[in-house]
Amino acid sequence: MPIADLSRVYSYERAQELAIGNQQVAMKISATIITFNEAENIRAACESVAWADEIVVVDSGSTDATRDIAVGCGARVIVNSWPGFAAQKQLAVAAATHDWIFSLDADERVSPELLASILSLRDAAEFQLAHGYRVPRRAFYMGRWIRGGGWYPDYQLRLFHRLHGRWGPRLIHESVTMNDGARIETLKGDLLHYTVRDAAQHRRAIEERYAPLGAQQMYRDGKRSSPLRRALAGPAAFVRSYVLKGGFRDGPAGLTIAKFAAYHASLKHSILLQLQSRSRDVEG
């Protein structure tokens, strides 16, 4: 998919914008992406949202060619020191030119069906639009698209009006929180997630990001663990992923996902126990 000439997109005035009555000004969408050393992914990510009226990339100090590639794709690039996932994504929202935001991770792509769903909204009457739209996300792992294990449909709210929602203050698994009374609908078409390349990268992601941040979030939320909970967390996560969530349908990939789910759960509770111990030491 070729990169759009964004200068033409910006200057192109739709005739529909002159309409009155129930017809709103055509929806203008800013696509936002946060990056750090995403040279391998950023070109394809920008191509995936070349239909947007603007692409905003917020980079946290990449040492590879991420920023140069993004600029070459027509994106507006902002450099900002890393404040955390949700805060960085919200900064991108605030920096966007348009009120409608489509948030994309660098390892995600918009499927043709999802694109058709988004484009169908652009000239809709205002009363027909929701305030936010969630999309199903499908992961590609170990050479196949995953159906089970709790990985699909993995709904994500990614298209929203920024006056009606914002990224919530979570350390991990951040999501958009919509205002009370906001209307949310679901779009057809998958957001394609090209997740970890192999088991080694999957393990590193758990050890370096997901388990530590997950434990910190649990601690912030007032949740506590115990040796018994730690012992049970791994087996429970495996059964939930492989059996209850249908991971067995994905063959060896589903088994691997379930094993890592068990490892993640056990490690997260171990780290949470360490946080509890440190807190007691400080209080003592």
Which residues of the chain register pLDDT less than 70?
A: 1-25, 284
**In a shared domain, residues 119 and 27:** yes
In the chain, the number of structural domains is: 2
Question: What is the model's pLDDT at position 284?
Answer: 61
Give the C-alpha separation, 67 to 278, whole Å.
40
Question: What is the model's pLDDT at position 197?
Answer: 86
Instruction: Tell me: cis bond preceding 136? Omega within 30 of 0 counts.
Output: no
**In a shared domain, residues 218 and 176:** no
Residue 112 falls inside a structural domain: yes
Domain holding 249, by residue range, is: 199-283
**In a shared domain, residues 135 and 261:** no
**In a shared domain, residues 124 and 41:** yes
Q: Which of 146, 172, 194 is the last residue of a domain?
A: 194
Q: Which of 194, 224, 249 is the last residue of a domain?
A: 194
Question: What is the model's pLDDT at position 4?
Answer: 35
Question: What is the model's pLDDT at position 281?
Answer: 74
**In a shared domain, residues 24 and 143:** yes
Residue 116 falls inside a structural domain: yes
Q: Which of 143, 174, 194 is the last residue of a domain?
A: 194
pLDDT tens by residue, 15-40: 334 333 344 457 999 999 999 999 99
Question: What is the model's pLDDT at position 137?
Answer: 98
Question: What is the model's pLDDT at position 47?
Answer: 98
DSSP conformation letters of 181-200? T--EEE-SSPEEEE--SSHH
Residue 99 falls inside a structural domain: yes
**In a shared domain, residues 39 and 148:** yes
Give the C-alpha separation, 169 to 186, whole Å.
23
**In a shared domain, residues 179 and 56:** yes
Question: What is the model's pLDDT at position 25?
Answer: 58
